[in-house]
Homo-oligomer: A and B are copies of this chain.
Amino acid sequence: MSTEPSVERQLFDLRAHTEPERHEPHERRDAARNRVLLLDAAHRLVDRDGVAAVTMDAVAAEAGVGKGTVFRRFGSRAGLMTALLDHTEARWQGRVISGPPPLGPGTPPLERLLAFGASRLDRTIASADLMAAAAGRHGRSGPAVAFWTVHVRHLLTELGVTGDLPLLAMALLAPLDVTIVSQQLGAGVSRERILAAWTDLAERVVAGR
C-alpha cells in the first residue's frame, strides 16, 4: 500500500469548513455566538453597501460587539474576508469533489479541467472585490489555493502530463487570480475572451505531455 494518501483524501482534508461547528474543539459559547453574529453582520454589510463598507468598526457595531472581538475572531480584515468567502467556497469545493459533471467526477479529465477553469474564472469575477480584500499584503495563501492546486495536479496526472506538476498547476491557476483577471476586465477584456485564452493555454500544456 502506498504511503501517500489518496487524492480524494487530500482534497477532503483541504476542504473549507461547511459546517459552522467545525472549529476548535472547545470553543466557548459566547465565542461561537459572536462568530456567527459577526459573520451575519459582515454579510449584511456586504449585501447592503458593498465590500468597501465592511470596516472593522462597522462590523463590530452592526454585530453589537466590541472591536477587539472582531480581531480576536478573525485576526485581520483579510481574515474576515476569507471567512466570508469560506461559506460559498466550501459549497463550490463540494461540487468539485462530488457534484454533477462536468465539474464533478465522471467526466473525461480534459473536459473536467476546462470546466474547472471556467468555473474558477466565474467565481473570481463574481467576488473579485471580496477576494482582493481577502488577499493579505503577502499575497494570497490559505487552504483554498492548496485545494485548487491539488485538484489540478490530480487532473494533470490523469491526463498523463509529466513534469513538476505542483508548479505547473500553479502556473495554470495564476492567470485566473484576482489581480490578473481584474486587470484584464479593467482593460476591457471580456470574460469570454479570458476564458478562451485560458482554455487555449490549458490545452497547450496538456498537449505537450
A58 at the interface (CB under 8 A from B): no
How many residues of A sit at the interface, in one of the four size bands?
35 or more
State whether A201 touches B168 (Cβ < 8 A): yes
| A179 partner, pick from B140, B168, B182, B200, beta carbons under 8 A | B140
| A197 partner, pick from B163, B175, B194, beta carbons under 8 A | B163
Chain B residues, Cβ within 8 Å of A177: 174, 177, 179-180
State whether A138 touches B186 (Cβ < 8 A): yes
Question: CA A110 – CA B170 in complex, angstroms?
Answer: 22
Question: CA A163 – CA B198 in complex, angstroms?
Answer: 11
Chain B residues, Cβ within 8 Å of A163: 197, 200
Query: For chain A, what secondary structure do more than half of its interface residues adopt (helix, strand, loop), or is it mixed?
Result: helix
How many monomers of this chain does the complex have? 2
Question: CA A160 – CA B198 in complex, angstroms?
Answer: 19
A20 at the interface (CB under 8 A from B): no
A116: min CB distance to chain B, Å: 16
26 A-B contacts (beta carbon < 8 Å): A132-B137, A132-B139, A138-B183, A139-B178, A139-B182, A141-B183, A163-B197, A164-B196, A164-B197, A164-B200, A167-B189, A167-B197, A168-B197, A168-B200, A170-B180, A171-B174, A171-B175, A171-B197, A171-B201, A174-B174, A179-B179, A201-B205, A204-B204, A204-B205, A205-B205, A208-B208
